[in-house]
Amino acid sequence: MGKTLYEYEAKVRYNEIDEQGRLTVPALLDLFQNASGFQSEELGFGIEYLENRKEAWVLSSWQICINKMPFFAQKVRVQTWPYSFRRALGNRNYRILDEQGNTLACADSFWAYVSTEDHMIRKFPPEMIDAYGTLPELEMEKAPRKIALPDNMRAEEPFEVKYYFIDTNHHMNNAKYILAAAEYLPGEFAVKEVRAEYKKSAMLGDTVYPFVSAKKDCVTVSMCDAAGEVYAAVQFI
């Protein structure tokens, strides 16, 4: 696929599986996030580079399609590549393959490049675009980036953002919203697709107010602040 494809091999660990012995959705997100993080570090545009410039990548949305979750101790190959850069907005694909090269899961993601001081978007540095390059977009059936929230969602118990939810951008990590939202899945719910839309960053000590709509084939979770502004919306299909 060319020089801008990044991949690494992994083995599904015990702390990443559910009671059926398969990789959990939050653990899948961790594998994907690690891939793009590893690529950035190797290209010289990782955590230290961003901190020095007081800039950051902020995730706007995920769409994850799951064919089959790998099981405990299974070897997998995780891949990622960017396919579009537009001034301060970028798109990136991910996928996870088994040892035979079959796609177990894939994802599309939409990002913004922002200042960590004023939270305004910043134009990508030209040297960054040159280093990453782009590859063709992964063929997958795309869902809308925005999640339509159902009416009459039920309120659940609020929770506080703890320190172990915080990442190097000093806000609640993207995967932690999905981890929190997964708490409201029925026991027999088989997740085939996950969508997430991020609107506002929750910080350490913030209180998150979850609202849930659970239907037979779709569970939607909206996580809000006290005023009702949405931090993130997550949908499991």
pLDDT of residue 216: 87
Using one digit for the tens of pLDDT, what is the confidence trace for 113-135? 999 888 899 999 999 999 999 99
Average pLDDT over residues 83-96: 95
pTM of the model: 0.91
- At residue 51, does pLDDT exceed 50? yes
pLDDT tens-place string over residues 160-197 = 999 999 988 888 998 999 999 999 998 888 999 999 99
Confidence of residue 1 (pLDDT cuts 50, 70, 90): very low
* Residue 34 reports pLDDT greater than 80: yes
Residue 190: partners with Cβ closer than 8 Å, 6 or more residues away = none
Query: Hey, what are 76's tokens?
Result: 């997998």
Q: Which residues contact 181 (CB under 8 A, 6 or more apart)?
A: 210, 221, 223, 234, 236
Confidence of residue 3 (pLDDT cuts 50, 70, 90): low
**What is the CATH T-level fold of the domain 6-132, as seen in this structure?**
Thiol Ester Dehydrase; Chain A (3.10.129)
Does pLDDT of 49 surpass 70? yes
* pLDDT above 50: residue 2: no
Q: What is the pLDDT of residue 4?
A: 82
- Own/partner long-range contacts of 137-143 (Cβ < 8 Å, ≥24 apart): 137/83, 137/84, 137/91, 137/93, 138/83, 138/93, 138/95, 138/106, 138/108, 140/63, 140/65, 140/106, 140/108, 141/65, 142/63, 142/108, 143/63, 143/193, 143/195
pLDDT at 213 over 50: yes
Say if domain 154-236 classifies as CATH 3.50.50.60: no
Equal CATH topology for 6-132 and 154-236: yes
The single residue listed with the structure tokens 């990002």 is 111
Q: What's the pLDDT score for residue 188?
A: 81
Tokens representing 200 are: 């506002």
Percent of the chain scoring above 90 in pLDDT: 87
Percent of the chain's residues with pLDDT above 70: 99
Above 50 in pLDDT, residue 74?
yes
Please tell me the predicted confidence (pLDDT) of residue 168. 84
Q: In the chain, what are the domain boundaries?
A: 6-132, 154-236
Residue 40 confidence (pLDDT) above 80: yes
